[in-house]
Amino acid sequence: MDELFDGFHPVFSEFVSDPIDPEQVMDGDPEAFDLPIARAENGSEVAGFWMCTPGTFSDTELEESFLVIKGHAEVEMADGTRITLSPGDTHSFQAGEQTVWKVTQPLVKSYWTRPGSSTS
C-alpha cells in the first residue's frame, strides 16, 4: 500500500482495509482501502476516498459519483460499455449497476454517494 501514498498528503495513511470479496476477484490480487470523510445522519458513508491496487474484480455499484485522483483503470458495464479512467476523470453510477473493474495502476478516487443508497 505504501506505493499508493508517494507524493500524497499524510492523511492518506489513515486509510483502512476495504476487502474485496474473493468471489468477485477475476484476476490478480487487488486490495482496496477506504477513508470515509462524511456520513449521513443514518450513518451511511456519503463521501470519502477509495484506493485499489491492480487486479480485476466485479462489483455492484451504489449510487455514486467520483473523481479519479491517481492511477488508471477500465470499467466495463453489464451492457458492454467500457470507460477508461485516468486522473481528472469523473463518472457517476446508478445503484445496482453491475461492473467489472480492471485496475492497471494503483487507483485513488474521491467519491460521493447518495445517503442510504443501496443495491437492494
pLDDT tens column, 62-100:
999 999 999 999 999 999 999 999 999 999 999 999 999
> Residue 120 pLDDT > 80, yes or no?
no
More reliable by pLDDT, 119 or 15:
15
Domains of the chain (ranges plus CATH)?
2-113 (2.60.120.10)
What pLDDT score does 102 carry? 98
What pLDDT score does 116 carry? 56
Q: Are 35 and 7 in contact (CB under 8 A)?
A: no
Residue with cell 456519503: 46
> Residue 55 pLDDT > 80, yes or no?
yes
Provide the 3-class DSSP secondary structure of residue 34: strand
% of the chain with per-residue pLDDT over 90: 72
Chain center to CA of 97: 14
Whole-structure pTM value: 0.86
Best CA proximity match to 31, nearest among 49, 12, 53: 53
Distance CA 90, CA 87 (A): 9
Q: Residues for the chain: how many in total?
A: 120
Cα–Cα distances (Å) from 10 to 20, 33, 60, 67, in that order, read 24, 15, 31, 20
For the segment 105-109, the average pLDDT, to the nearest whole number, is: 95
